[in-house]
Chains A and B, each alone.
Chain A
Amino acid sequence: MDRDTGGGTLPEALLDVMRDPSQGRQRLPYLLELLDEGTVRVRLSAAWALCLVVESDPDLLEYAVRRLVDRLDPEPATGRPDDSGLEVRHALDYIAMRHPRATDEALAELDSEREVRGRERLYDTVNGFKRSEYGSQEGDDSHSRARVPDRQEDGDPRQVYASPSDVEDPLAGAESDGTGGDSDGTSDGDGTPERDDGEERDDPGGDDTQTGAVSDRGVTSGTLAVIRRRLSAVVEESRYDEISILDECRRERHADVYRAVGEVDETEHPLALWLFHLPDADRASFADGLTTCLHRWAEISDADAIHAVRDWGTRPRPWAAVETAELTLADRDAVGIETAVAETRRLAAAVSAAHQHGVVHGGIDPETVVYYGNALTDTPHRQPMLSAFGLATLVREHGGDGVPDPRYAAPEHADERFGSVDTATDVYGLGAVCYRLCTGRAPYTDDQVGHGDHVDGDPPVPSDAARGVPPALDRAVGKALAARKLTRYETVTALARELAAVDEALDE
């Protein structure tokens, strides 16, 4: 059947509901019928009428959400156009953004299949509605604990930071983020609302209460308000009393990351809120695996040089609150031999501690070596930390590729003849990171990996690409980068021991 692309007269009953949504309770079944059968114009009007009714009477939210989820096709029927059910999805998105907590609770009441279907739809919402400004309107956020900078609420003694620089003050002396971030302003598919750059930036003195205020990072408070609404359900699940979102998200390897401040017992903690990217299929399994993964990561978070994960959850979509650390080794050039050895030793100690707890990282590469704030230019004494324990393995198990970076990946990542990913894989990763620290480049190029040079030839050594590398360090890196596990360091401790000897020799 050809889908009507418009036109049609709106039924009088529908117009009545739109005129007076408070009388819409009895009309809900009728509105839902229109969603199934009407023309585009009628369906769209019915969807908005439904939203108006829910706005008017929030008690109807659960019923509306249930019926809308029922209309989400798990697999659209053959022959139906791609925009089939578009109005249903819009209505569900609107309700979810206006009432995230209540929507989450309504979804939780559904059977598992329908709950998953509904949540998948809402996960997509982040992308699908990135241009939406729903959140810039006054809405039901009375229960929301997510807050926005630049918005001091009357009577609220709690401080909400107005700018990234303010974040550092109460944490002076702590290892806080000192950069103010480096939001690249991109939101290509990352679920971040795109900024209405021109007008709002040019008119800072306009409507600065909600949509018009522009932070010193160029992010409108309206944009952040949208983010806040989207994240409020996450905040409800977290252990934080409040979370203030400071910035738009950055799309990173495993997650969209929001710089934020979390408050617990009136103490504020800088943190990064990760909203994990989801696989195309088997998301429930991914969420289970992620929970296990984060739990194990948290168990070792107290060790030195391990990027700490503070909290996590799976609703409304998998998320984690981790220490703020915005720079990675991937942003860094060669650091000099002594620093390279010292930092690799520190990372090796962290990996060794993880291995003692039975935790394998499985994906060490420069993007998993993180630094606090703007450490790279300010001082050479900031120390690296290892992040994302176990995530690479989980992502690969769910069809992800390119993790870890193939130029740094041990052969067993790509070829099972070399065995499974285990502690020896972390040895390889540390060797690759050490090579990177010494030389500023990867041990192999993409072409070399493509040609299989990383499994057939002799391992590369730092002296191939850097000067002043002692032979002992060449040997250590060469052994760590051995393609075959039999000829690789048996343990990270063995690697650390030889690096310590190199370090001592360099000190003499």
Chain B
Amino acid sequence: MASSVGGAKFRRGDRVRVLSLDVKGHMRTPWYIQGKTGVIERSHGPYLNPESLAYGGSGLPAQPLYLVRFNQLEVWEGYTGPGDDRVLADVFEHWLEPA
């Protein structure tokens, strides 16, 4: 895939917080993990940016994409399932900050 700017910022095991970016158009970060803290499970490598591709853009610069693991108890208020339940989501690097 296309080269990214600066390479991947995060490694497996890093704690990250998902930003709540004010993106009005197309984006791939579901609402329920925005503002939540998770752990990097895997780095997928760089992918063209769908926020640009959705409007006929080049998708460059490619953005590192990560599989991020969240604890369900932290994602959902009043979650009543088992305490070790997890939810996994693919999140682009520009949506993440260190936590």
A and B held together in a complex: no
